[in-house]
Amino acid sequence: MPVIAVIGGQWGDEGKGKVVDLLAEKASIVVRFSGGDNAGHTVVNPYGEFKLHLVPSGIFYRHTVCIIGNGVVINPAVLISEIGQLNERGVDTAKLFISDRAHLIMPYHILLDGLEEESRAGKALGTTRKGVGPAFTDKAARLGIRAGDLLDKKALLERLRFILEYKNIILTKVYEVNPLSLDEVYNDYCQYAERLAPYIRETSIMVEEALNKGELVLLEGAQGSLLDPDFGTYPYTTSSSPLASGGCLGAGISPNRLNHILGVFKAYCTRVGSGPMPTELKDEVGNLIRERAHEYGTTTGRPRRCGWFDAVAARFTSRINGFTGVAITRLDILDVFPRLKICVGYKLDKQTINYFPASITALERCQPIYEELPGWQAPTSHINEYDKLPPEAKKYLARLEELIGCPVKLICVGPRREQTIHKTPIL
Ligand code: GDP
Ligand code: IMO
Ligand code: MG
């Protein structure tokens, strides 16, 4: 009964979509377990290039069931449009299911995400403004509406009436904007209900049955571990846990079912949105990485902040997730650099530290301590065997492995499935 959790080891956009699309070939179920349409997972395969926001990246295999788990917040309009686009491009969604326990993003969540960001002024978090934070706030505040609520329209109307009355007070009295109309919101959500009802069910039982049959289940992480509300750069984080432990909760399986936890890391670092990033490069090296890798947000198009690999942060996320293996993506982006740097410690005030501080004011003062390695200055994107990599690339990977403290299992040298080096088996 193998379960592999695929987890972002940095600040998101590590290439989880590519890795899940690759591993899903052997899986009977893929479950997205956290976040919402703040995620943007790029998949390049024989169907073309896709940017998935809610639908799991296993959707391209006819035999693979894809579940949007209870831990995800769903914008129904976004999901319906994503399903439509997949179908138009020949991708079947008959095996897609939605947990009846997944919460819904409502129009006031999107409005409030923008209004809250504006009210933070210089301290804005740089959210994706998709309503994800406010939807998780309502989940915790017991003011949420869940996918299962779409199946009982009378109860939905009552719940919406109660919640909207309260939300409209906040919209009109705190933010001084127009209230939302109960009729309009209700009618829109009734239409979404018609379209989505066939997909909604109790999904944790489906996962349980697959595991009991000894089938492979993948947990598809969204965001990255350094955006976790507990262990990330709080408050510059997202609102649900992207960690492996979040995977158990958000998919509805016991922690004792997790056998393999694959951490996905880029060969360097990126971050989109605000908050500390010790190895950020605001110079021509950072610009070169951004332009070579086209580091612009999949969901918002914002330029991603780029920098050298931060091994202090990586060792930390490996520990809190319990990674059993790592995938290093985008190695090819480093092909042109004569020298490479890896951050192996921080200088904090006058001290040298080797841990990732909880306090963002401390993290903002951290100066990276770098170790330099020679680059390989040769193309790698055509290579699919570990032994054929240039010796300097192997040394770079071996050093990452040593510093993270976890074996490298997969290496990606391009966005396509075949641009992958299987160094050691995951299962
Ligand atoms: P995710 O959110 O973790 O799924 O990652 P994103 O899709 O947001 O961003 C990763 C980007 O890197 C996408 O454009 C992928 O197509 C691309 N990608 C993944 N692996 C590689 C790789 O090894 N090399 C290159 N050049 N691109 C890659
Ligand atoms: P994937 O799954 C990168 C970031 C936002 C912002 C912070 C809070 O594609 O790796 P939110 O909208 O969640 O309230 O924004 O989190 N963020 C991501 N950054 N990749 C993502 O997802 C992200 N999802 C959220 O940019 O800094
Ligand atoms: Mg992404």
Q: Strand (E) positions, 174-311?
A: 200-201, 217-220, 260-266, 269-271, 305-307, 309-310
Residue at which a domain ends, from 196, 224, 246:
196
Q: Are residues 177 and 272 in the same domain?
A: no
Check: CB of residue 134 under 8 Å from CB of residue 112.
yes
Q: Are residues 94 and 238 in the same domain?
A: yes
Instruction: Give the number of whichever ligand sits closest to the CA of residue 57.
Output: 1
CA 160, CA 164: separation in Å to the nearest integer?
6
Is residue 13 in contact with ligand 2, taking CB distance under 6 Å?
A: yes
Residue at which a domain ends, from 243, 261, 279:
261
Q: Any idea of the CA torsion for 5, 243, 57, 14, to the nearest 10 degrees?
A: -110
The average confidence (pLDDT) of the chain is 97
- Ligand 2 pocket test target in 105, 110, 272, 277 with most atoms within 8 Å of CB: 272
Give residue ranges with CB within 6 A of ligand 1.
8, 12-18, 40-42, 44, 298, 329-330, 332-333, 412-415
Is residue 223 in contact with ligand 2, taking CB distance under 6 Å?
A: yes
CATH number (domain holding residue 335) = 3.90.170.10
Q: Are residues 294 and 252 in the same domain?
A: no
Of all atoms in ligand 1, which is nearest to the CA of residue 18? 19
Which carries the bigger pLDDT value, residue 25 or residue 300?
25
**158 Cβ neighbours under 8 A, 6+ residues apart:** none
Q: Are residues 290 and 393 in the same domain?
A: yes
- Helix 107-120 vs helix 153-169: crossing angle, to nearest 10: 20
Question: What pLDDT score does 427 carry?
Answer: 84
Q: Are residues 55 and 173 in the same domain?
A: no
Residue 323 maps to a domain:
no
Q: Are residues 67 and 168 in the same domain?
A: no
Check: CB of residue 42 under 8 Å from CB of residue 49.
yes
Q: Are residues 192 and 204 in the same domain?
A: no
Question: Considering 13, 113, 149, 332, which one is annotated as catalytic?
Answer: 13
Ligand 2 geometric centre to CA of 312 (Å): 21
Cβ count near 164 (within 10 Å):
20
Residue at which a domain ends, from 215, 244, 261:
261
Parallel, antiparallel, or unpaired for β 325-329 and 351-353?
unpaired
Averaged pLDDT, 167-176:
98
Q: Are residues 81 and 209 in the same domain?
A: yes
Q: What is the pLDDT of residues 5-60, one digit of tens each?
A: 999 999 999 999 999 999 999 999 999 999 999 999 999 999 999 999 999 999 99
| Bridge partners for 20 per DSSP | none
Of all atoms in ligand 2, which is nearest to the CA of residue 13? 10
Q: How confident is the model at residue 369 (pLDDT cuts 50, 70, 90)?
A: very high
Q: What is the pLDDT of residues 186-231, one digit of tens each?
A: 999 999 999 999 999 999 999 999 999 999 999 999 999 999 999 9
CATH number (domain holding residue 122) = 1.10.300.10
Of all atoms in ligand 1, which is nearest to the CA of residue 20? 4
Question: What pLDDT score does 1 carry?
Answer: 58
Element (H, E) at 29: strand 29-32
Assess whether 13 carries a catalytic annotation. yes
Is residue 272 in contact with ligand 2, taking CB distance under 6 Å?
A: yes
Q: How confident is the model at residue 299 (pLDDT cuts 50, 70, 90)?
A: confident
Residue 427 maps to a domain:
no
Q: What is the pLDDT of residues 402-423, one digit of tens each?
A: 999 999 999 999 999 999 999 9
Query: 254 by DSSP, 3-state: which?
Result: coil
191: domain range?
103-196
Residue 364 maps to a domain:
yes
Q: How confident is the model at residue 298 (pLDDT cuts 50, 70, 90)?
A: confident
| Cα-Cα-Cα-Cα dihedral sign, residues 162, 165, 166, 168 | positive
Instruction: Give the number of whichever ligand sits closest to the CA of residue 6.
Output: 1
**310 Cβ neighbours under 8 A, 6+ residues apart:** 10, 269, 278, 279, 343, 368
Question: Considering 37, 41, 103, 138, which one is annotated as catalytic?
Answer: 41
Closest CA to ligand 2's atom 21: 223
Our count of domains for the chain comes to 3
Q: Strand (E) positions, 272-338?
A: 305-307, 309-310, 325-329
| Cα-Cα-Cα-Cα dihedral sign, residues 305, 368, 222, 21 | positive
- pTM of the predicted protein model: 0.98
Element (H, E) at 317: helix 311-321
Provide the residues around ligand 3 (an ion) whose CB is within 5 A.
13, 40, 298
Instruction: Give the number of whichever ligand sits closest to the CA of residue 380.
Output: 1
